[in-house]
Amino acid sequence: MSARREASNWGRWGPDDERGTLNLLTADAVLGGVAAIRSGKVYGLGLPINATAAPIVEGRGEPRRLTLTCDSDDERYEAYGAAVGVGANQDILVLASHHGTHLDALSHVFADRTMYNGFPSSTFKAFSGAGRLGVEKLGVFAGRAVLLDVAAAAGVECLPPGHVITRAELESCATAEGVDVREGDILLIRTGWLEQWQRSAGGVSGPGGAGQPGIGLDACGFIRDHDIAAVGADNSAVEAIPFDKDTFLSVHIELLVTLGVPLLEHLSLAELARDRRYEVLLCVAPLPVTGAGGSPVNPIAIA
């Protein structure tokens, strides 16, 4: 554990901190993101939520929208005094908090049965969920985001399956794009994988799925050294699959557990990339579900 603590952010914001590097998103950092706005164009980075629009990761199941009320419920509404033909359509949603485009809370992953800042994994209970580091502790956040279109920089539609993106690739991509990466930035990494998945038959993804390009441990050094506030990517796990160093969830452990960096996965970055918007204000609004290990999100980029 000592090795982890030395190079980690544990204790950096106090022993009770549950927000990790989101602490870097000060009002000044937010204003830095606001300053990046040029055109007022708004981008939604979330995939549609239905049975086919996003990879179904093993065990998480298909998201479901079920009808709660519709115009067959006229009698119910008439009992409330509604005029004939007046009523409401309502739904019930059943979905994994990590389905589709989502935010990994700092309680999402543990190593040595320990989560970020030293909280034991046992603080996540079956009934009540995360007693520590739940997604509700992160709250909404906003800041300057930098899109590193690594696929475009490499001149490919999609990086090869299993390709491990390095620190050098991130740096040369930033240089090619002419953007600087600053402390407290949110990093968005485009591998091209999601668009390739969309062009293909779709289907199942995740730990047991086929290979995906993504970052490795070397790139985590870039994230640590730049004091990145959050990292997102257009793949299933931000990190490469198979995992770097053949270590299960190696990058998740480094970012979520050691550094306290929340992750955004399955981001839809195609339109931002097409418009070459490399600096944006990014607004992320997880559902504040008490005790959840993550939340579906639909991040907003304003360019």
Footprint of a second copy on 167-206 (CB under 8 A): none
Instruction: Using CB under 8 A, pick the residue from 90, 157, 211, 276 that binds a second copy.
Output: 90
Which residue's CB is nearer to a second copy, number 7 or number 35?
Answer: 35
Is 208 one of the binding residues for a second copy (CB under 8 A)? yes
* Contact yes or no for 231/70 (Cβ under 8 A): no
* Contact yes or no for 158/151 (Cβ under 8 A): yes
By CB under 8 A, the residues from 249 to 288 that bind a second copy are: 249, 252-253, 281, 283, 285-288
By CB under 8 A, the residues from 231 to 250 that bind a second copy are: 246-249
Helix (H, G, I), strand (E, B) or coil at 144: strand
Helix (H, G, I), strand (E, B) or coil at 230: strand
Which residue's CB is nearer to a second copy, number 71 or number 180?
Answer: 71
* Contact yes or no for 55/266 (Cβ under 8 A): yes
* Residue carrying structure tokens 């639909």: 298
Peptide bond into 299 cis (omega under 30): no
Is 113 one of the binding residues for a second copy (CB under 8 A)? yes
Q: Which stretch binds a second copy (CB under 8 A): 10-18, 89-97, 163-171, 222-230?
A: 89-97
Instruction: Return the closest-CA partner of residue 68 out of 48, 101, 93.
Output: 93
Order the strands of the 294-296 sheet from edge to edge: 42-44, 300-302, 279-284, 141-149, 186-190, 230-233, 263-265, 102-104, 294-296
C-alpha distances out from residue 221 to 4, 11, 199, 259, Å: 13, 19, 33, 10
Is 214 one of the binding residues for a second copy (CB under 8 A)? no
Instruction: Using CB under 8 A, pick the residue from 24, 109, 150, 280 that binds a second copy.
Output: 109
CB of 21 to a second copy, least distance (A): 15
CB of 238 to a second copy, least distance (A): 14
By CB under 8 A, the residues from 134 to 163 that bind a second copy are: 136, 139-142
Is 111 one of the binding residues for a second copy (CB under 8 A)? yes
> What whole-number distance in Å separates Cα of residue 26 and Cα of residue 32?
10
Which residue's CB is nearer to a second copy, number 171 or number 271?
Answer: 271
Helix (H, G, I), strand (E, B) or coil at 28: helix
Is 20 one of the binding residues for a second copy (CB under 8 A)? no
Q: Which stretch binds a second copy (CB under 8 A): 66-74, 173-181, 214-222, 226-234?
A: 66-74
Is 85 one of the binding residues for a second copy (CB under 8 A)? yes
The tokens for 174 are: 């930033």
Q: Which stretch binds a second copy (CB under 8 A): 122-130, 145-153, 213-221, 269-277?
A: 122-130
Neighbours of 33 (CB within 10 A): 23
Is 297 one of the binding residues for a second copy (CB under 8 A)? yes
* Contact yes or no for 278/147 (Cβ under 8 A): yes
CB of 279 to a second copy, least distance (A): 14
Is 10 one of the binding residues for a second copy (CB under 8 A)? no
Which residue's CB is nearer to a second copy, number 44 or number 225?
Answer: 44
Q: Would you call 113 exposed, middle or buried from its count of C-beta atoms within 10 A (0-12, 13-18, 19+)?
A: exposed
Size of the site for a second copy (CB under 8 A): 105
Helix (H, G, I), strand (E, B) or coil at 33: helix
Q: Which stretch binds a second copy (CB under 8 A): 125-133, 155-163, 192-200, 215-223?
A: 125-133
